[in-house]
């Protein structure tokens, strides 16, 4: 452990021993970066609740299919969603992973805090 300039008498050795490595923080910030775009967050939320194709997602999001496809590619590369092909159609849904479930729960909790049901948006 490096020598710290100030000694504040807290248990810094214990904290430092539990500090995840830089690569772990990089992975985590990459996942959060995926959700930093409101459209990607909204698409991810939808796909946590249903499986859908690009055409329907485009209609739900009021976005072009290429724009939705771009967001889907980002979410898929982050491991947050999966896809399956049925004939010519490709369907997307949230990945069945602990990370995906945790992020979905986090989004639901934050929405409940920041946009409570008692708040009326006009």
| Structure confidence at residue 121 (pLDDT) | 43
Q: How is residue 62 written in tokens?
A: 């009021």
Task: Retrieve residue 68's tokens.
Answer: 């939705």
pLDDT for 113 equals 86
Give the pLDDT score at 35.
84
Tokens of 101: 């479930």
pLDDT tens for the 122 residues of the chain, in order: 667 787 776 788 888 888 889 998 898 898 888 889 999 999 999 999 999 999 999 999 999 999 999 999 999 999 999 999 999 999 999 999 999 999 999 998 888 888 876 544 43
Q: Are 94 and 44 in contact (CB under 8 A)?
A: yes
């Amino acid at each position: 452990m490096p020598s710290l300039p100030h000694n504040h008498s807290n248990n810094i050795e214990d904290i430092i021993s539990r500090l995840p490595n830089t690569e772990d923080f990089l992975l985590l910030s990459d996942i959060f970066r995926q959700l930093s775009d409101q459209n990607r967050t909204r698409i991810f939320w939808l796909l946590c609740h249903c499986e859908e194709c690009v055409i329907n997602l485009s209609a739900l999001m009021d976005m072009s299919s290429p724009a939705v496809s771009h967001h889907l590619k980002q979410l898929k590369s982050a491991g947050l969603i999966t896809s399956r092909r049925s004939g010519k159609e490709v369907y997307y849904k949230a990945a069945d992973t602990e990370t995906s479930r945790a992020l979905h729960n986090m989004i639901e909790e934050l929405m409940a805090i920041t946009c409570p049901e008692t708040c009326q948006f006009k």
